[in-house]
Structure 1
Amino acid sequence: MSYLRLSLAALVPVLLSGCAQVYVGNHLLKKADSAECAAEGYLKVGNPYIVDGVRYVPMNESLGYSEKGIASWYGQDFHGKVSANGECYNMYAFTAAHKSLPLPTIARVTNLENGKSVVVKVNDRGPFVRGRIIDLSYAAAQSLDMVRFGTAPVLVEAIGGPHHQRGGYKGGYFNAAEDMKKNDIRAERLASVGVGGGAEEESLAPLPKGDQHRSVQPPKPAVSLPKPPEYEDRVFTDTKPLKKTFVYVQIGAYSSEANATEQMKKLAETFDTAALSQFEAGGKQLLRVRAGPFHSVADADAALQKAISAGFTEAQLKVDD
């Protein structure tokens, strides 16, 4: 699967984080006249928001979050633009975008194909592409050896941050305003493109200072990375065979065997690998309906689009290792 550059006339405007942005390909492009970056960023959970017709509900807490899926990355197209928590996006810093984790969240991301891990600060929203669970900065993607492939199957684990406690952030002091500030080199502010409009918004609150809720921090920004590939030279999905992970297209999980069997039969009309498998979630036994595994991430991406076109509009990519 490939992502094409779109003309400005084809861009769909949305508004997030109080600054105008437009959805295109993997990301939201920020307007050039948006507010200047905040030096320290903001504590943020935010209201539910809608992108491309899909509603996302931010989490109040990061404690216990762990998910496997496909990671992508973003680089110089967004370098210097305002991220969702108000900071400048710096492609050489170890950061990431996530659709629902509270901001900031400290997370460990592990490439399940090669075992490499990196600690990142989640300070942005995205990626708003089906089949992706996290968007990594260029530096983080380089650490996982995924820039040349475009994507990678990963495990994302929340490990710290002001919201990493039962019930989420409860006020008081949090030292990340200082620790994160000294680790983040202010990115060069670059010109950007976009169109106005939209009315979905998330609220921001100043990040308090102090030394309570100390947590692990991401590494300091990289200083010796090669220049990232130009947009037109980038690879957006990995075509090489998967060796250690299995990627499936899942259309749903059901408590009723009859419902699951009916959906599996419908899925079998499109995929001859359609099957049921049992798993436990929240103390309940459920049956998931899925097809695969697929040879590569690129094959899984194509299968996901095929499933959506066949009417399975809630289909997702799921990763096992």
Structure 2
Amino acid sequence: MATRCNRTILSSFRKFSQKTAIEVKIVEVGPRDGLQNEKKIVPTHVKVDFINKLSRTGLKSIEVTSFVSPKWVPQMGDNTEVFKTIDKLPGICYPVLVPNTLGLESAIAVGAKEIAVFASASEGFSRKNTNCSIEVGIQRIKQVINVAEKQNIKIRGYISCVVGCPYDGFIKPSEVAKLSEILLSLGCYEISLGDTIGVGTKTTIDNMIRSVLSVASADQIAIHCHDTYGQALANICTAFDAGVKVADSSVSGLGGCPYAKGASGNVATEDLVYMLHGLGANTGVDLNQLIDIGQFISKAIDKPTGSKVNKALYQNLENNKTVT
């Protein structure tokens, strides 16, 4: 007999499956959000190969690097070389993260067409992550956007800790809605709502999304879930039930939060694609290629894949290759 929790998740899946005529967009964040906290520095040529492989899977948006100080994020110290070297295929966006106007200047210099800015719904997390208050962080974002708009650069906004924070605990949905409204008014075309430490559940995610929808339309929202408690797929379905059509994910479940003890990586792109294809949604992404890429990057960082689907299907794919 299914547990009460299982029945809740299955109900969410069934509700979404009734809406699967929609096109679902996946934003791949592995090369940036997935790798940025890895202590082992990944060689530039491996990052470039990683991104080029992802470009051939059918993904339409791949966040490739971050223009931050190498002092604070050593893994992103080769940002300029990576961005200049990757193959930029037609029809694919290659956004980069920028924390301030200095980072933006570097992004402009290499020809970036889309950037991401970030804020936190938690005062404690904002001070720990960016060494400033939410209010000061918004002023920095405003300065970045003012310059970016003059260069006709698209701007996406991230909000961290949308349901919970390792320092401040539970986050009120109204705080997320207020910050979303500010970022949209400043010029962000889309807000990615991040459950940074993966504490969200169907109820908390639904309440948060509904609150944000009071100030934004569903096509201005994306969902970004970490899988610390194994709730990411159910939470993504909850967001899709509310009309959201964009989800962030990371191949092989790369990533994590250095300020949240025990926080695991992003939801794995392989797991997300497998689920969405099973529900009949159209992602345009080749799952078999993703599995090979997940193995490639996992070996490069010397860690096992964090994707359950990759673990389950990789050996079958290898056996089929051997047979043929």
Q: Which has the larger radius of gyration?
A: 1
| Higher share in strand | 1
Q: How does the TM-score come out when normalised to structure 1? A: 0.25
| Higher share in helix | 2
